[in-house]
Amino acid sequence: MLSAPENELLCRVEGEAPMGRLMRRHWVPAIMSEQLAPDGAPVRVQLFGEKLVAFRDSNGKTGLLGESCPHRKASLAFGRNEECGLRCLYHGWKFDTDGNVVDMPSEPKASALPEKAKHLSYPTRESGGFVWTYMGPLEAIPEFEAPPWAPHDATRISIAKIELPCNWAQIMEGQIDSAHSSTLHSSDMRPAKGEATSKGEYWVRPSTDKNPRIQVQLTNYGMRYAAIRRPITNASTHDYVRITTFVAPFFALIAPVNSYNLTTVIVPRSDSSSYFHFIAWADADQPGIDTDAWRKFCYLVVGVDVDDHFRPIKRHAHNNYLQDRALMADGTSFPGVPGIPNQDIMMWESMGPIADRTQERLGASDIAIVQFRRSMLDAVRVFQEEGRVIGQVEPHIPQVKLRSYQGVVEKSVPWRTLGASDEEVQVLAGIEDDEMEGAAA
């Protein structure tokens, strides 16, 4: 439970809101690379309530500009993207990817306007299937680093994406909530003996336990937590451990299956809307899953479930996500909606545009969520008071070294080292533990 002011501090990201200011100090995954073709249609992107337009010029360079033309505010999303620039349809002003005005046909040749009219633009980089941007003060721009899901050039990355009408924090809390997976997703994550793996249509996990014990380890980039369940076999000597790694403020590495690793990326579009991405990624030693198969598995296929701009077109609140009560009654589907993300979306959106955390009843299985809130509220306070940015402190662990984990292990094995790279084990050994167990706030 949070007080009303704490909830506002956690959730609001627009304008001068402190959380938005903190998020702007990180590189932001603004749009998927595949959404921008050279000289292709410009794409509207909204970040922290700010309306922008992304495009890729004739040379393949990406740009992210203010959506409104600086001349008289017409939308550049209707513009012509040609010959290395985006041209406003109204009077023809043309901008390069850095926001420089490179043509101004409606003004006299000798006009000094082009120099004065430089348009709002944010720097961009490309990595891991995304175009990234930085929207904070330029003097504080952090070095760009590859994200956790792009450790190698050859890593195969499949991204499912959807725009959702709710606040970022309740979506992120869904990533840090292992307990729900045993109930909401019980038709898609089925208990079975053996290894946790993908069976094509569904995943299996070696546990029937719906009541995980949660243990949290704070890190200087966010946190890791373990959800510890009784395994189906060897329950007296072994634990089934699922570890989630939260990389503040946008990523959660959730427990992998054998075939691929999983990451969720949540980017605030406004106070009350977000871009949600579900990423399956695989290195050479894993089978992986291609983008088409992944989007089918997630029921987030472009042209079927979402439109070209990744907005829902099939299942949404107005049609109750096409929940099928016959399938619920006959045991085929516990939630009555196919696709793990759709099941989550139904829950996240039903909490309201910004969940009211002043009226909750939290339990022991919510410990990681309580810690996530504390960590992000602390991060905002430290940022406001000392200017320090979470994740941008020494010692820095390269993001490509971060991992989640799942597996059945002997009870004597300390979970903190599971899935952690040698670099991380060393770094974390020097950071004070702040573990909580058995008590929810």
* Least spacing, CB of residue 90 vs ligand FES, in Å: 4
Token duo for residue 201: 């249509």
Closest to 46 measured CA to CA, from 54, 34, 35, 57: 54
- Residue number, 88 or 354, with CB nearest to ligand FES: 88
Distance CA 187, CA 158 (A): 23
Tell me whether residue 145 is exposed, middle or buried, using C-beta atoms within 10 angstroms of its C-beta: 0 to 12, 13 to 18, 19 or more.
Answer: middle
Q: Binding partner of residue 45 among ligand FES, Fe ion, none, CB under 5 to 8 Å per kind?
A: none
| Binding flag, residue 271, Fe ion (CB under 5 A) | no
Rounded least distance, CB 93 to ligand FES, Å: 4
Q: Which does 344 bind (CB under 5 to 8 A by kind): Fe ion, ligand FES, none?
A: Fe ion
**Segment near Fe ion (CB under 5 A); pick from 249-257, 342-350, 352-360, 370-378:** 342-350
Residue 69 touches which member of ligand FES, Fe ion, none, C-beta under 5-8 Å by kind: ligand FES
CA quadruple 64, 69, 73, 76: dihedral, nearest 10? -70
Q: How far is the CB of 174 from Fe ion (least distance, A)?
A: 5
Query: What's the CA gap between 124 and 134, in Å, rounded?
Result: 7
Smallest gap from residue 89 Cβ to ligand FES (A): 7
Cα 411 from Cα 380, distance rounded (Å): 37
Q: Closest approach of Cβ 91 to ligand FES, in Å? A: 3
Q: Closer to Fe ion at the Cβ: 252 or 420? A: 252
Tokens of 318: 């107005």
Write the CA distances from 244 to 136, 173, 199, 266, integer angstroms.
Answer: 28, 12, 22, 15
User: 189 vs 306, which CB is nearer to Fe ion?
Assistant: 189
Cα separation values, 265 from 330, 357, 375, Å: 34, 22, 18
Distance, in Å, from the CA atom of 394 to the CA atom of 398, rounded to the nearest integer, reads 11
Q: Which residues bind ligand FES (CB under 6 A)?
A: 69, 71-72, 74, 88, 90-93
Closest CB to ligand FES among residues 79, 341: 79
List helix spans (H) across 204-330: 291-298, 325-329
Based on CB atoms, which residue is closest to ligand FES, 74 or 347? Answer: 74
The window from 99-107, 195-203, 240-248, 344-352 that contacts Fe ion (CB under 5 A) reads 344-352
Min dist CB 175 to Fe ion, Å, is: 8
State in angstroms the smallest separation of the CB of 123 from ligand FES. Answer: 23
Determine the interface stretch with Fe ion among 82-90, 127-135, 268-276, 336-344 (rule: CB under 5 A).
336-344
Q: Closest approach of Cβ 73 to ligand FES, in Å?
A: 6
The listed partner (Fe ion, ligand FES, none) that binds 90, CB under 5 to 8 Å by sort, is ligand FES
* Residue 411 interacting partner from ligand FES, Fe ion, none (CB closer than 5 to 8 Å by kind): none
Q: Nearer Cβ to ligand FES, position 14 or 98?
A: 98
Question: CA 101 to CA 87: how far, in whole Å?
Answer: 9
Smaller CB distance to ligand FES: residue 21 or 87?
87
Identity of the residue, 64 or 298, whose beta carbon is nearer to Fe ion in the bound complex: 298
* Shortest separation between residue 68's beta carbon and ligand FES, angstroms: 8
Residue 93 contact among ligand FES, Fe ion, none, beta carbon within 5 to 8 Å by kind: ligand FES
Distance CA 82, CA 67 (A): 17
Instruction: Return d(Cα 224, Cα 229) in angstroms, integer.
Output: 16
* Closest to ligand FES by CB, 83 or 433: 83
Q: Which listed residue (50, 57, 344, 349) binds Fe ion by CB under 5 A?
A: 344
What stretch of H or E contains 404? Answer: none
Which residues 6+ apart lie within 8 Å of 315 measured at CB? 299, 305, 321, 322, 337, 342, 345
DSSP readout, 27-47? -EEEEEGGG--BT---EEEEE
Rounded Cα distance, 284 and 309, in Å: 31
Q: Which residue is nearest to Fe ion (CB)?
A: 344
Phi, psi of 162 (to 5 degrees): -155, 140
User: For binding to Fe ion (CB under 5 A), which residues are involved?
Assistant: 344
